[in-house]
Amino acid sequence: MPGASHVGVSQRIESEEERNRLKKLVSPYCDELGGYIIRTAAEGATDKELAQDAAFLKRLWKKVLERRGKNATRSMLYGELDLAQRILRDFVGTELDLIKVDSKQCFDVVKEFTEEFVPELTDKLDYYNGDQPIFDMYDTENEIQRSLDRKVELKSGGYLIIDQTEAMTTIDINTGAFVGRRNLEETIFNTNVEATRAIARQLRLRNLGGIIIIDFIDMISEEHRERVIQSLEQALSKDRVKTNINGFTQLGLVEMTRKRTRESIEHILCGSCPTCMGRGTVKTVETVCYEILREITRVNRAYDADNFVVYASPTVADALRARSIMLWRSWRFLLVSKSKFRQSLYTLKSSLTW
Ligand SMILES: [Zn+2]
């Protein structure tokens, strides 16, 4: 808030403790340049992150003032940042080793931007001009594909199944091949611990938020259960987004939440499948056949028709033809396969004389 000298906190940060913590951390940054409003995104932010964000905003405001002084005529002092710049701004204060950019034009823009506003990132910028696509070079393409898969393999041979629904995300942990009974309890414990690290990584990678229910493999030992929770807490501590673990429920599931920030990677990259409406299942050929036959019964009562024309997929058409000869011998109807409309029309006309 240029010209102001106090700190305001968003109403949506509800915890009194967190409000006081943030206010105390940000107050020292108020000076003659202005004050600050702490928005909900700051919830759980570290001292370092807030300091770097404040420094960024100060440099930005100084730049605006400088431009205003320089330009006698009307000109733009500040515009909304483009995507690459926004990403750099949002990553202020995080641990990054290197930022590779494969477009010279974009590289020049972000270099100028970091020099002005985020100098600590300038040295980390690197222009990549190799022949191989940059996403292939660093296996990013495959990594994106893997981040959309339901199944995530663990090194030990076990795996996770991640399902994202409207209400919550569920994660199921499974052991791989069967191992002898003697080591079973130990194997289960180790797989669960390994899973905690994989889960923390997947939550960040897929940007999953809201309620998350984890179904660890059942553990008899109370000590093992506690250590799995500790391991999960430790793995989640690296997350920039706020998480909260509620522990085991009565059914032995681990309940946790992760703050929602932007969309999940699946919602960004994918849309709902028009065939199954996002359910991941379609009606079987048999179900569709019976629906068609019931519809014919219905229509037959309503209208006095000699022929029925059915538009169906090739597999449904084949099944229907095979079945209807037995079931509906007395009726005559024409089957037309959608994909081969013209050819089917002739062949079926001549073959369906029953
Ligand atoms: Zn589908």
pLDDT at 349 over 60: no
pLDDT at 300: 72
Measured in Å, residue 268 CA sits from the centre of ligand 1 at 17
Whether residue 173 has pLDDT greater than 60: yes
Closest CA to 217 of 196, 241, 245: 196
pLDDT at position 307, please? 67
The alpha carbon of 323 and the centre of ligand 1 are apart by a number of angstroms equal to 26
Q: How far is the centre of ligand 1, averaged over its atoms, from the C-alpha of 266 (Å)?
A: 14
CA of 343 to the centre of ligand 1 (A): 29
As a whole number, the mean pLDDT across the chain is 83
**pLDDT-derived band of residue 127, with 50, 70 and 90 as boundaries?**
very high
Tokens found for residue 78? 């500040």
Q: What pLDDT was estimated at residue 233? A: 95
Give the distance (Å) from ligand 1 centre to CA of residue 254. 30
What is the rounded (10 degree) CA torsion for 46, 52, 55, 61?
-100
| Span from the CA of 284 to the centroid of ligand 1 (angstroms) | 13
What's the gap in Å between 230 CA and the centre of ligand 1? 38
CA 163–ligand 1 middle distance (angstroms): 15
State both tokens at 262. 């932007």
User: What type of residue sits at position 192?
Assistant: N
**pLDDT score, position 207:** 92
CA distance 204 to 209: 9
Task: Measure 348 CA to ligand 1 centroid, in angstroms.
Answer: 30
Q: Which helix (H) or strand (E) holds 210?
A: strand 210-215
In angstroms, how far is CA 28 from the centroid of its own chain? 37
Question: Which pLDDT band holds residue 333 (cuts at 50, 70, 90)?
Answer: very low
Alpha carbon of 273 to ligand 1 centroid (Å): 4
Distance 257 CA to ligand 1 centre (A): 28
Q: What is the Å distance from ligand 1's center to 112 Cα? A: 45
Give residue 96 CA to ligand 1 midpoint distance, Å. Answer: 38
pLDDT digits (tens, 9 = 90+) for 115-124: 888 888 889 9
User: How far is the centre of ligand 1, averaged over its atoms, from the C-alpha of 144 (Å)?
Assistant: 20
Ligand 1 center to 157 CA (angstroms): 29
Tokens of 91: 């990553």
Neighbours of 209 (CB within 10 A): 19
Side-chain half-sphere CA neighbours of 247 within 13 A: 3
Position 60 confidence tier, pLDDT thresholds 50, 70, 90: confident
For 36, counting Cβ atoms within 10 Å of its Cβ (0-12 exposed, 13-18 middle, 19+ buried), the class is: buried
- pLDDT over 70, % of the chain: 87
Q: 67 C-alpha vs ligand 1 centroid, how far in Å? A: 54
Q: Is the pLDDT of residue 192 over 60?
A: yes
Cα 74 off chain centre by: 43
Among 64-78, 259-273, 284-298, 326-340, which is the least confidently predicted range?
A: 326-340
Q: How far is the CA of 277 from the centre of ligand 1 (A)?
A: 6
Which ranges of the chain would DSSP assign to H, the alpha helix? 16-26, 47-70, 83-90, 104-117, 119-122, 134-137, 140-146, 184-206, 222-236, 265-269, 285-302, 314-327, 341-351
Alpha carbon of 315 to ligand 1 centroid (Å): 17
d(CA 173, CA 163): 12
More confident residue, 351 or 39: 39
* All domains in the chain, ordered by first residue: 1-79 (no CATH), 158-269 (3.30.110), 285-351 (no CATH)
pLDDT tens digit string along 202-245? 999 999 999 999 999 999 889 999 999 999 999 999 887 889 99
Residue 272 Cα to ligand 1 midpoint, Å, equals 8
Two structure tokens written together for 153: 């393999």
HSE-up of residue 21 (Cα within 13 Å, Cβ side): 13
Lowest model confidence (mean pLDDT) among 5-9, 78-82, 304-308: 304-308
Taking the centre of ligand 1 as the mean of its atom positions, its distance from the CA of residue 155, in whole angstroms, is 30
Predicted local confidence at residue 345, as pLDDT = 40
Instruction: Give me ligand 1 centre to Cα 280, in Å.
Output: 5
Mean pLDDT score, 284-301: 80
Ligand 1 geometric centre to CA of 264 (Å): 19
Can you spell out the DSSP letters for 239-284?
-SS-EEEEEE-TTSPEEEEE---S--HHHHH----TTTTTSS----
State the pLDDT at residue 178: 59
pTM: 0.66
> Ligand 1 centroid to 341 CA: how many Å?
24
- Report how far ligand 1's centroid is from the alpha carbon of 263 (Å): 21
pLDDT at 342: 41
253-287 pLDDT, tens digit per residue, is 999 999 888 888 888 898 888 888 877 888 888 88
Distance in Å, CA 107 to ligand 1 centroid? 39
Lowest average pLDDT, out of 157-171, 301-315, 338-352, goes to 338-352
CA of 150 to the centre of ligand 1 (A): 14
